[in-house]
Chains A and B, each alone.
Chain A
Amino acid sequence: MTQIDLPFAKRTLTNGLDVLVHENHHVPMVAVNVWYHVGSKNEHPGRTGFAHLFEHLMFEGSEHQNSSYFAPLQQAGALLNGSTNSDRTNYWEVVPTSAVDLALWMESDRMGYLLPAVTRERFETQREVVLNERRQNYENRPYGLATMALSAALYLGDHPYHWPTIGAADDIRAMQLDEVQAFFRAYYHASNASLSLAGDIDTERAFELAERYFGELPAGVRPAAVRAHAELTHEIKLLLEDRVEMPRVYMAWHSPEMFGADDADMDLLGDLLGNGKTSRLYRTLVYEKRLALDVAAYQSSREIAGFFLLVATAAPGHSLTDIVAVIDQELQRVATDGPTEAEMERGAAQVEAHFLYRLQTVGGFGGKSDQLNAYNVFKGDPGYFATDLERYRSATRDSVRAAAKAYLAFDRRVLLSVVPAGQPGLALSGSEPVLVS
């Protein structure tokens, strides 16, 4: 087995900012990556979409660079982006080694001095951009509203995962500038952030630069952790009509939170059920019986809670009912007999390769700088990479079987049928229409 490792050094500035450094001089580039431990889970019903809108505003300027962040960074040859999910917001640049100072100056300026640059005009323009993003990526996309319907059913009312990260369209329209400013003050500061630098930089110099640019920033108040509980007590059947050709079924269960007990087992379970032609459900549904056009299964783990999702699209002439019957049979089988030895061996090879491939890039989404921040923010341990890998290596046939049995119960799940508009009869029987806005 290959030795797979993600070496790093960590220091915490006096204002609470964690700084993580990984040296790799293969390419003359440095990845700068900042995580804020804030996401849509920190919002409230009727007031959703803040964290994501904020991500947009963070590129529009700060007090000392009071115009677009893209121009100077592009001029320096940087690639840059940011993203928001329910749990965190990240911002990154991959810059030539010669532009590390610039990237840190800018990241620190928007951490410490953003609000003077958040004007009403910028706010309103980005609000329109976000509404466009929402229409383009959700409303104008086949099956685009399905995950919103699922989240709403899995997590009720004021549970922080009830709403989508992009926010409800009405909430986005109703946002006020002063609320946006208050949101920034609550979450975007040194003690709620983590900075990582990976690539062509000397470790000591990286710490010096971090201190120089971020050391003066106020710590801010560390927000309280968000906690919530959710459970299903029965099977929920929902129906969504959409502009699609083929009916599709989504099956979702509550599952362990990220890095929680059984989280890795559920991940392995997703692979053996739905990842690739060799997976059980692809083989039976698509290859042998030809009831479905595609199938997917995965554990989606988040900070507070996870959910396990199975998705299959019906082949013409076949019903979702037939598909669900086959899936249920396979679920029953795996919960009783567990994976085969061959499936475990295959899973182990894929895990090893997956962890190894993740080490190929220093920057960007999922690169080494992003992973260090993820482990630091969610586990308080940037060195968790090795432990993370070990979670998968220590899984057994029995632990995977036990996880399937514990979590994938038929009487505690959400079944969502997405069917062509005007043909609700193609949904699973007894499904209730659901409204997504």
Chain B
Amino acid sequence: MIKTNSRRDVLKLAGAATLASLLPSGKSFAQAAGNVVVIGGGFGGGTVAKYLRKAGVNVTLIDANAGFVTCPFSNTVLGGFGEMRQVSHTFDGMRRAGVNVVTGTVTAIDSAAKRVTVQGNATPIAYDRLVLSPGIDFKFVGTAGAIAGYDEAAAEKMPHAWKAGPQTELLRRQLIAMDDGGVVVMTIPNNPYRCPPGPYERASLIAHYLKTSKPRSKIVLLDGKDTFSKQGLFQAAWTALYPGMIEWVSFSQGGNVARVDPATNTVFTDFGQHKGNVVNVIPPQRAGRVVDLIPNLATGDYCQVNPTTFESRSVPNVHVLGDACVAGAMPKSGFSANNQGKVTAVAVAALLRGQAPVAPSMINVCYSLVNPDYGISVSSVHKIGDDGTIISVPNSGGTSPAAATAEFRKMEADYARGWYASISNEIWG
């Protein structure tokens, strides 16, 4: 009898071959010795920490929080069919993998002496290589490019919910408290920002909740740009599922936000104003502020890196990945950060062994739900182009078809859930 390998077995074999070619085997594992400090336990940092352990490297993971709440799938909480516990992860899996987990705020980084100081710890942590995956921070009042009137206090009235956690719960409570017939105003920044299709998935899932519970309500999207990710797919779904409920005001229709007034829940655009019963402000963003602890690490809002190693172009032995880096054609997504995390882990292990890193190929897939049974996706394949930046491979990737059956949309919604289960298990499981 001839046994045919299942597709899964083939994938396992392929995976084994890839790992064998990239990671040291046998004795050379020990030669990858070195101390790596990773700051940030999200999609990027969590992946780096896990994969460096597979290469036998000592890893200390520092995060300000005791666990990580993912932005991906947090919109299901706002849609009323997901729960916070489903998007909340501890670092227990990291510890089981042998990662030394430190909970605390980093207060100083000495990139010359190669050590990191954590608040409350007298002794700095030494590193051979440092990996920063701090995600984003917001441009609040006082920062160039900020929305006038939007600061941390305003975020308690007009939540951003763009770092998942208490902000997600606050926005959910506001949606529950809103009367039927209310107006939800969402503001969306210009590029670049974390999760390009995220605001439109959020609008869809809030619409799902309102359609179910408060069908006379409306959603107004005030946008700082004229086009957006998966635009045709989203807009077709809105027409089909939520007719008349979502109004999108593009940049050239006056959607750019200049100022907010939390006291009256009013958003002032360049040319008009909108009052909301619930106002969700997704503010302009920048690299997580921890990058400011190293002079010249950030150029403008984000950090320039060598895409083969994700090592900073300005500061040696410091790697930056995920939302905080400039990754060319790769979007700021959890899946991008996860891919970049694997590339960084392999590169760091090679560098610690004195070997030359290999130029990577990377992928990204972003699923969005427009209701629990209707998923759409965009995917892309990336490599390093002749100009040394990350490019999209021509004619690779694409989006879900414009015309598809309900079964097809349902299947993609299931793929989305499958993607989330597997990536979160890989990182935090």
Co-assembled chains A and B: no
Q: Hey, which bits of chain B sit against chain A, CB under 8 A?
A: none
Q: Hey, which bits of chain A sit against chain B, CB under 8 A?
A: none
